[in-house]
Amino acid sequence: MVKQVRIALRNCGRVNPESIEDYINARGYEALVTCLFDKKPADVINIITESGLRGRGGGGFPTGIKWKAAAAEVSDEKFIICNADEGDPGAFMDRAVLEGDTHSVLEAMTIAGYSVGADKGIIYIRAEYPLAIERIKKAIEISKEYGFLGKNILGTEFSFDIELKYGAGAFVCGEETALIASIEGKRGEPVVKPPYPAQKGLWGKPTIVNNVETFANICPIILNGKDWFRSIGTQKSPGTKVFALAGKINNVGLIEIPMGMTLRNVIDNIGGGIRDGKEFKAVQTGGPSGGCITRENLDTPIDYDNLLSIGSMMGSGGMIVMDEDDCMVNFAKFFLEFTIDESCGKCAPCRVGNKRLLELLEKVTNGQATEEIIPQIEQLCATIKKASLCGLGQTSPNPVLSTLRYFRNEYDEHIKDKKCRSKVCKALLKYEIVPDKCNGCTRCARSCPVQCISGKVKEVHTIDQKACIKCGVCYTNCKFNAIIVS
């Protein structure tokens, strides 16, 4: 059994994030010193490139190549942006790193600045992370006092400063071009790439945008070397990944696992199995942009490419476990609702397409759909995926596509049989009174908000199916288990 390996979270809970001495004692700022005094910028980029580190924000783009592209640009000004606009439902690894190991992010950003020739860093952070913000501010101040940040760092020619910019809670601002627009004071909307931010980013200058967790990996790579990093994880995805384990599982919270670990290991061992002894159904990775992974893929080693090939994605690390009580159509609907709320509305496929897609899913869960709806859904998903402008739109149909792929039977049951096996989709439920168990206590009739239950005292009651709004109040109130749902 492979255990957790902590690289990004190495200091979290172990060093006092508000003490720079503690951080230094844990080899803090040693990587920066090594880079500034022993390595040329190109050497640093080479180490990062050869380590195989890939962007932990979701896309998995090789970090070294990004840095190299920005380093190659000639410009009077360049920027390093730390993307801390964490927005996936339930995910909080960036917050954990920023709150628990603040200095490591500052140090890594400074190293990035040194490597690509930037003297300005910006941390774009959600305003809803007050503790992280407070700690970053303190850390910036103290590291300036120690000479790790600011003008002529450690007496060298290299200067680097970091400031904070606050996100107002728009999920799409996690997309790098939208994030840059937001920093520039514009509406947070993505723009067409190319040009990439590494060529033309903030204020039209070469800009590196890396996620918090990516930065959290930099110093250990510099300190321990690319070979050490490559010894962890898989060949194409070296290192570890932090996940926010959530849902119907016994042990919820942040985990950091080496790439290549199987989902079975995560769920059964680290997660301690499914809650209440229920049956495992699926795991959603990649948040609203990802897809679900089912029993048949439980032994797939987790890395960027494997997840993509089974119709999901790494994403920023959300991992939601579902059991037999979860309806997969409803589940797809949930994430789509999130996407619709968070779409910026710029491009037509995402703005209108996702709305129409949700309406189609609603028809399925309301029992109004016919069989022709599936090809319609598929065509719409294909268009949204291929024609949307940014990553948000291009991945938004994933939850629908992957549930269609692995749980087509549930869709068919909703459409043909008008049944929801998990009893989640209200419109498809039928509440009935079992005559043998009903003793005519009238409790159900009295509690029914639409008065659709009739019957005399001490006689068997009946529910008028046409009037029933499927609220479930009778079911909850019946003390004799005389009401069944089907």
Q: Which is nearer to another protein, 324 or 341 (CB)?
A: 341
Q: What is the closest distance, in whole angstroms, from the C-beta atom of residue 351 to another protein in the complex?
A: 6
- Residue 259 in contact with residue 303, Cβ under 8 Å? yes
User: Which amino acid, one-letter code, is at 379?
Assistant: Q
Q: Which is nearer to another protein, 11 or 177 (CB)?
A: 177
Q: Which is nearer to another protein, 352 or 484 (CB)?
A: 352
Q: Which is nearer to another protein, 130 or 169 (CB)?
A: 169
Residues with Cβ < 8 Å from 132, sequence gap 6 or more? 84, 95, 98, 99, 102, 125
Q: Which residues bind another protein (CB under 8 A)?
A: 170, 172, 187, 189, 191-192, 194, 340-349, 351-356, 359, 376, 379-380, 382-383, 386-389
What's the CA dihedral at 290, 294, 300, 302 to 10 degrees?
Answer: 30
Q: Which is nearer to another protein, 278 or 351 (CB)?
A: 351
Q: Which is nearer to another protein, 84 or 340 (CB)?
A: 340
User: Which amino acid, one-letter code, is at 17?
Assistant: P
Q: Which is nearer to another protein, 110 or 354 (CB)?
A: 354
Q: Which is nearer to another protein, 347 or 433 (CB)?
A: 347
Q: What is the closest distance, in whole angstroms, from the C-beta atom of residue 192 to another protein in the complex?
A: 4
SS3 258: strand
Residues with Cβ < 8 Å from 354, sequence gap 6 or more? 336, 339, 340, 343, 384, 393, 396, 397
Between the alpha carbon of residue 195 and those of residues 177, 207, 271, 314, 411, the distances in Å are: 10, 11, 42, 25, 41
SS3 283: strand
Q: 392 — phi, psi (to 5°)?
A: -60, -50
Q: What is the closest distance, in whole angstroms, from the C-beta atom of residue 126 to another protein in the complex?
A: 16
Strand 318-323 relative to strand 280-285, pairing: antiparallel
Q: Which is nearer to another protein, 18 or 337 (CB)?
A: 337
Q: What is the closest distance, in whole angstroms, from the C-beta atom of residue 379 to another protein in the complex?
A: 6
Q: Which residue has the tokens 């065509």?
A: 379
Q: What is the closest distance, in whole angstroms, from the C-beta atom of residue 398 to another protein in the complex?
A: 17
- Residue 271 in contact with residue 251, Cβ under 8 Å? yes
Q: Which is nearer to another protein, 195 or 253 (CB)?
A: 195
Q: What is the closest distance, in whole angstroms, from the C-beta atom of residue 190 to another protein in the complex?
A: 10
Q: What is the closest distance, in whole angstroms, from the C-beta atom of residue 304 to another protein in the complex?
A: 16
Q: Which is nearer to another protein, 170 or 321 (CB)?
A: 170
Q: What is the closest distance, in whole angstroms, from the C-beta atom of residue 352 to another protein in the complex?
A: 4
**Residue of 140, 135, 134 lying closest to 121 (CA atoms):** 140
Question: For the chain, what's the residue count?
Answer: 486
CB atoms within 10 A of CB 69: 17
Between the alpha carbon of residue 329 and those of residues 307, 337, 359, the distances in Å are: 21, 12, 12
User: Which amino acid, one-letter code, is at 342?
Assistant: E
Query: For residue 428, what are its two tokens?
Result: 């498809």
Q: Please classify residue 18 by burial: count the beta carbons closer than 10 Å to its beta carbon, then call 0-12 exposed, 13-18 middle and 19+ buried.
A: middle
Distance CA 65, CA 49 (A): 6
User: Which amino acid, one-letter code, is at 169?
Assistant: G
Q: What is the closest distance, in whole angstroms, from the C-beta atom of residue 397 to another protein in the complex?
A: 12
- Residue 96 in contact with residue 211, Cβ under 8 Å? no
Q: Which is nearer to another protein, 387 or 441 (CB)?
A: 387
- Residue 318 in contact with residue 327, Cβ under 8 Å? no
Q: What is the closest distance, in whole angstroms, from the C-beta atom of residue 359 to another protein in the complex?
A: 4
Q: What is the closest distance, in whole angstroms, from the C-beta atom of residue 386 to another protein in the complex?
A: 5
Between the alpha carbon of residue 77 and those of residues 90, 108, 201, 391, the distances in Å are: 36, 19, 11, 27
Q: What is the closest distance, in whole angstroms, from the C-beta atom of residue 211 to another protein in the complex?
A: 23
